[in-house]
């Protein structure tokens, strides 16, 4: 890897496939990923410390006050945040470090670290996005509607990103991101 690491953002609406794409990219040993903190409950088979660090609102607020986050945001009633220390260490060590974060968080990171490579991930259309959210079987119909409404707002920010990838077929989207990152 190069002397200085690179920070990569995969960002987009809930259900766009950020986490799935990130997991596919992690199969390359050159790619490292941040484990974000959240105050929401785990979904399905998510594991604490692997998928997210699941913590209380009180602890999250304490970490904010202590300046421990590179970025954080509230999304659909829960907090999400990227710990600062692992990002700083990875860049110093020359690693390719990926953040799979929401649009609010991505905009914060792009402001703080302009040399970040940002990739907006989107579903092919609203119907596909809604189906992905429904297939999770963890969100209520109200939550799904909220997430779809939020997605419409988030799509307006895609021009602020360096690249945009439509995640219709997983293998194609992974290949496109690898090309962007010079990993193919």
Model pLDDT for residues 166-181, shown as the tens digit of each residue = 999 999 999 999 999 9
pLDDT at residue 2 tops 50: no
pTM of the model: 0.85
Determine the pLDDT at residue 53.
97
Position 105 in a domain: yes
Residue 1 lies in a domain: no
Please tell me the predicted confidence (pLDDT) of residue 1: 38
What's the pLDDT at 3? 54
CATH number, domain of 169, equals 3.40.50.300
Structural domain harbouring 36: 6-181
Instruction: Please write the tens of the pLDDT for every residue from 88-119.
Output: 998 888 899 999 988 989 999 999 999 999 99
For 35, the token pair is 């484990």
Domain count, the chain: 1
153-167 confidence digits (pLDDT tens): 999 999 999 999 999
């Amino acid at each position: 890897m190069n002397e200085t690491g690179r920070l990569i953002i995969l960002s987009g609406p809930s259900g766009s496939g950020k986490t799935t794409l990130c997991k596919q990219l992690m199969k390359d040993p050159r790619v490292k990923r941040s484990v974000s903190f959240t105050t929401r409950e785990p979904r399905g088979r998510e594991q604490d410390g692997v998928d997210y660090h699941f913590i209380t609102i009180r602890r999250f607020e304490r970490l904010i006050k202590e300046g421990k986050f590179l970025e954080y945001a509230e999304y659909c009633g829960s907090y999400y945040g990227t710990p600062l220390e692992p990002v700083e260490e990875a860049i110093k060590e020359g690693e390719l470090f990926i953040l799979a974060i929401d649009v609010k968080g991505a905009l914060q990171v792009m402001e703080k670290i302009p040399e970040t490579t940002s990739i907006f991930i989107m579903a092919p259309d609203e119907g596909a996005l809604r189906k992905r959210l429904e297939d999770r079987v963890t969100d209520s119909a109200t939550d799904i509607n909220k997430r779809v409404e939020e997605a419409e707002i988030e799509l307006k920010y895609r021009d602020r990103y360096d690249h945009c990838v439509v995640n219709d077929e997983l293998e194609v989207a992974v290949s496109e991101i690898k090309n962007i990152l010079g990993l193919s």
